[in-house]
Amino acid sequence: METQLTSRQAVAKRMNDLLKERKITLYKFAQDVGILYDTLKKIKLSDSKSVSIDIVIQIASGFNMSLAQFVDDPVFNEDNLKL
C-alpha cells in the first residue's frame, strides 16, 4: 500500500471492501446492524473526525466477524497507518 491511512480511513476502507465483497448497500447494512445511516455514511466517506471502538465492534458484528477478524487485514498493518 503506497499511501498511509489514518485509523478512521482504514476502518472506512475495510468496511467499504466488505460491503462491496458481500454486495450489501450501506443503507441495508445500516438497517441490519442498527447504526444510523448518516453515521455509517460519514465513516464510509472518511468524514467522521473519529470512530469509536464501540462502533467498530458493531460494524464487525454486522459482518458476522469478531473485532479481531475485522482488523485482521493488511490495511491495519502498522506500516500502512499514520500513527
Asked if residue 37 has pLDDT above 80, the reply is yes
Cβ-contact 17, 65 below 8 angstroms:
no
Task: Provide the 8-state DSSP code for 66.
Answer: -
DSSP per-residue codes, 53-65: HHHHHHHHHHTT-
| Residue-level pLDDT at 57 | 97
Distances (CA, A) of 16 to 44, 75: 7, 12
pLDDT mean over 8-31: 96
Enumerate the β-bridge partners of residue 81: 5
Is residue 1 very low, low, confident or very high in pLDDT (cuts 50, 70, 90)?
Answer: very low
Cα pseudo-dihedral 29, 4, 74, 54, rounded to 10? -40
